[in-house]
Amino acid sequence: MAYSEKVMDHFEHPRNVGEIENPSGVGTVGNAKCGDIMRIYLDIDDNQVIQDVKFKTFGCGAAVATSSMATELVKGKTVEEALGVTNKAVMEALDGLPPVKVHCSLLAEEAIHAALWDYAEKHNLKIEGLEKPKSDIHEDEEEEEEEY
């Protein structure tokens, strides 16, 4: 299986790894095929421009490379523009992925959508064209610990 130089570069030196404290939106999605998980944090300003983005991926190399590239592509974009960062756009920017790894790139697109969805919900906004990803893993942060 041959990976492009760009995929290898983003896999070995992923950009924007980490978390954002008090993010405007956070999205966690899971890949049903392999069980890998990706989380994306967005910091969005009052003009709906993505000022910062960070990710964490518990997944394969292609998932790491695509999340890294996806974060680079949405940074500085408006929320509306970020919706145009599809898995196809991410793959093109990486000079392609082997066919068996194409599903991995969907995780990045869906994590961005899940984070935008969270942002829209928190701010009572409707973002044209945004749908809640099916792979969204909603985590209830208020969840109370069970007592025995």
In 9-125, the DSSP E strands lie at: 25-30, 37-44, 50-58
Nearer to ligand FES, 43 or 136 (CB): 136
Q: Is 22 exposed, middle or buried (0-12, 13-18, 19+ CB in 10 A)?
A: exposed
**63 contributes a contact to ligand FES by CB under 6 A:** yes
Which residues neighbour 100 within 8 Å (Cβ) at sequence distance 6 or greater?
Answer: 1
Choose, by CB under 6 A, the member of 3, 10, 30, 36 that binds ligand FES: 36
60 is catalytic: no
107: left (phi over 0), alpha (psi -120 to 50) or beta: alpha
CB of 61 to ligand FES, least distance (A): 8
- Type and span of the H or E element at 66: helix 61-74
Residues 71-90 touching ligand FES, rule: CB under 6 A, are: none
The window from 56-64, 78-86, 91-99, 112-120 that contacts ligand FES (CB under 6 A) reads 56-64
Contacts with ligand FES, residue ranges (CB under 6 A): 31, 34, 36, 59-60, 62-63, 104, 107
Residues tagged active-site:
34, 104
